[in-house]
């Protein structure tokens, strides 16, 4: 540093002159820093709002405590009016409304349009709040739209989905108005996502800053998603079903047929499915007996489709059809590829008297008689959330086996596998060869095999139904339970014990951690489980897990010679089918 005592007047003048010249530059730098700070702040707020939307999209929006805190951080911005980057071009800011006495139309589009025209918009806190007029005619319109089935209003329920209109800048006065908003939503282009799911937060105390938020969302298959529900959830939700699904869900109109029986088929190969098939057949027989005792019963005959190529010791205990497997080089250890090949052989060689086929699996336990759930010629199936052929990263893979498809077209591929699925025998004849060939093509494609892995044959089934125009497929979440994630017996027809069940000795569920008490079918991959498996802890509240153990114990105690069978893995005594 300079010592001020040795600076000469001439040198001081030079420094002073330089300082004067530097001041404009300094002001420029300061102003630039201020501008950058403002831009950074706005950008941060924008990303914060985007994070809120993303969290609501992925988590369903029910984590309102966290979202409340996030929104509180932007309240100073909100109070001064919604910034341009948070505004939605579809928000109405007009304070005028259309009055009139137009007749109430039954058509849902007309109802929605009338409801929207008769809405009055008020500006609150920088947001548009839609206040539905309380005239009797408009109340009737709103009520008619809600009761027509197009809203499917569910209280204390939240759906996840891809947002097409954010809740924070879509404040509406009621759940019915939110439904109407979803119903009338128009995507910008034909390829943009439409609204088929809406969620509304109408509890002022619980919703906090999310009060009156109306999120418009899109799901490829709303009927395939189990929403989050419970008294603690302040959201009200609804889904807009396509006309065909809406008819199925609300009227359950069936074709008038005298005989709607379906033939049950399970596929099997290996030690694990050997004992599972015996348990399955026991419960099939017991539930079918209950079904027939109650009157008209749609449950028909039974076949174990054994795709090992060899007879086994259960041929006289369980009605079976033996199919040849693919050559080893055809499946390279992925024996599931034998399944569609086995169905092709079964359809060619078996005499099937029923007009319908229900494809099930050995690790399904019948809980109660299931009616034929098909409506007309629409198959009925259980949806699997992990079958996503229209997903952005999967669409190019899907197109390898379908040809060019838009995302909307790909969403017509149902998220299903072959089991459990109910379809007509004619439909199975039509699609089975394509299912076999498509599954083998997917297996042989390096990218598809890597991405779809162990469920690639399920993708093969879903894509083949689409290619062969077998559908649309009605999705039934209540067809099958999957404990421990499902807990209550009602309303399911089947119990699928594919997941491990782990609990502490006090009965607390420990997902992802081996419990002090547990049941997992994989523990019995080589040999059957013993008779009289230990009961779950008294404090365990899951009805389905408790029923699973009771069902296994009942079957293994009823089938003769189970102790020896459990010890050796080979059956020497057989059940005669009598209950």
| CATH number of domain containing 275 | 3.90.550.10
Contact 531, 566 (CB under 8 A): yes
Residue 298 lies in a domain: yes
Mean pLDDT calculated for residue range 547-560: 98
pLDDT in tens, 130-139: 333 334 444 4
Confidence grade of residue 356 (pLDDT, cut at 50, 70, 90): very high
Confidence grade of residue 228 (pLDDT, cut at 50, 70, 90): confident
Separation between Cα atoms, residue 498 and residue 237, nearest integer Å: 30
Q: Is 368 helix (H, G, I), strand (E, B) or coil?
A: coil
Residue 234 lies in a domain: yes
Cβ neighbours around 143 below 10 Å, total: 11
Same domain, 453 and 381: yes
How many distinct structural domains can be found in the chain?
3
Same domain, 188 and 318: no
pTM higher than the cut 0.85: no
Chain centroid to CA 202: 25
pLDDT of residue 364: 98
pLDDT in tens, 101-160: 333 333 333 333 433 333 333 323 332 333 333 344 444 444 545 454 577 889 999 988
Residue 528 lies in a domain: yes
Residue 7 lies in a domain: no
Confidence grade of residue 504 (pLDDT, cut at 50, 70, 90): very high
Does the pLDDT at position 253 exceed 70?
Answer: no
Same domain, 511 and 457: no
Same domain, 91 and 185: yes
Separation between Cα atoms, residue 119 and residue 116, nearest integer Å: 5
Same domain, 429 and 499: no
- Structural domain span for residue 522: 481-568
pLDDT of residue 410: 95
pLDDT of residue 223: 77
Dihedrals φ, ψ of 503, to 5°? Answer: -145, 155
Question: Tokens representing 496?
Answer: 């699928």
Length in residues, the chain: 579
Same domain, 452 and 490: no
Same domain, 302 and 393: yes
Same domain, 175 and 322: no
Same domain, 333 and 382: yes
Between residues 232 and 356, the one the model is more confident about: 356
Residue 4 lies in a domain: no
Same domain, 392 and 501: no
Residue 40 lies in a domain: no
């Amino acid at each position: 540093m300079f010592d001020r005592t040795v600076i000469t007047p001439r040198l001081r003048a030079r420094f002073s002159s330089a300082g004067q010249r530097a001041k404009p530059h300094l002001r420029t730098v300061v102003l630039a820093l201020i501008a950058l700070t403002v831009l950074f702040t706005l950008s941060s707020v924008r990303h914060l709002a985007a994070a809120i939307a993303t969290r609501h999209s992925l988590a369903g929006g029910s984590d309102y405590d966290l979202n409340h805190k996030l929104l509180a951080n932007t309240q100073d911005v909100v109070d001064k009016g919604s910034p341009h980057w948070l505004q939605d071009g579809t928000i109405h800011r007009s304070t005028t409304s259309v009055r009139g006495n137009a007749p109430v139309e039954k058509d849902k589009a007309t109802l929605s349009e009338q409801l929207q025209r008769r809405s009055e918009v008020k500006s609150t806190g920088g947001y548009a709040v839609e206040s539905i007029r309380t005239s009797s005619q408009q109340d009737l319109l709103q009520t008619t739209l809600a009761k027509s089935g197009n809203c499917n209003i569910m209280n204390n329920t939240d759906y996840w989905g891809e947002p097409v209109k954010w809740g924070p800048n879509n404040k509406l006065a009621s759940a019915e108005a939110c439904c109407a908003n979803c119903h009338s939503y128009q995507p910008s282009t034909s390829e943009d996502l439409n609204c088929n799911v809406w969620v509304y937060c109408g509890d002022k105390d619980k919703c906090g800053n999310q009060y009156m938020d109306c999120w418009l969302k899109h799901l490829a298959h709303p009927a395939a998603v189990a929403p989050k529900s419970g008294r603690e959830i302040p959201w009200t939700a609804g889904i807009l079903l396509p006309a065909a699904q809406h008819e199925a869900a609300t009227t359950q109109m069936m074709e008038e047929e005298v005989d709607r029986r379906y033939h049950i088929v399970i596929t099997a190969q290996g030690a694990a499915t050997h004992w599972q098939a015996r348990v399955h057949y026991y419960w099939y027989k017991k539930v079918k007996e209950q079904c027939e005792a109650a009157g008209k019963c749609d449950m028909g005959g039974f076949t174990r489709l054994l795709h090992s190529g060899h007879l086994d010791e259960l041929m006289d205990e369980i009605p079976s059809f033996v199919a040849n497997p693919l050559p080893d080089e055809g499946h390279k250890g992925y024996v599931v590829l034998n399944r569609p090949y086995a169905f092709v052989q079964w359809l060619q060689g078996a005499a099937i008297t029923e007009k319908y086929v229900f494809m099930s699996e050995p690790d399904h336990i019948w809980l109660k008689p299931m009616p034929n759930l098909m409506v007309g010629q629409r198959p009925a199936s259980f949806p699997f959330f992990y079958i996503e052929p229209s997903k952005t990263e999967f669409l190019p893979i899907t197109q390898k086996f379908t040809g060019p498809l838009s995302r909307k077209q790909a969403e017509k591929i149902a998220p299903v596998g072959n089991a459990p699925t109910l379809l007509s025998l004619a439909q199975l004849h039509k699609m089975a060869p394509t299912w076999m060939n498509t599954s083998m093509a997917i297996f042989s494609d390096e990218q598809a095999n890597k991405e779809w892995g162990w469920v690639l044959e399920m993708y093969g089934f879903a894509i083949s139904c689409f290619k062969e125009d077998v559908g649309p497929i009605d999705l039934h979440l209540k067809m099958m339970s999957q404990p421990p994630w499902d807990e209550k017996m009602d309303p399911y027809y089947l119990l699928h014990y594919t997941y491990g069940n782990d609990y502490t000795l006090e009965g607390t569920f420990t997902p992802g951690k081996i419990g002090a008490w547990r049941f997992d079918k994989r523990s019995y991959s080589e040999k059957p489980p013993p008779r009289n498996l230990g009961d779950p802890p008294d404090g365990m509240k899951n009805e389905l897990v408790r029923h699973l153990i009771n069902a296994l114990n009942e079957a293994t105690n009823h089938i003769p010679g189970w102790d020896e069978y459990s010890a050796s893995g080979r059956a020497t005594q057989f059940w005669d089918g009598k209950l």
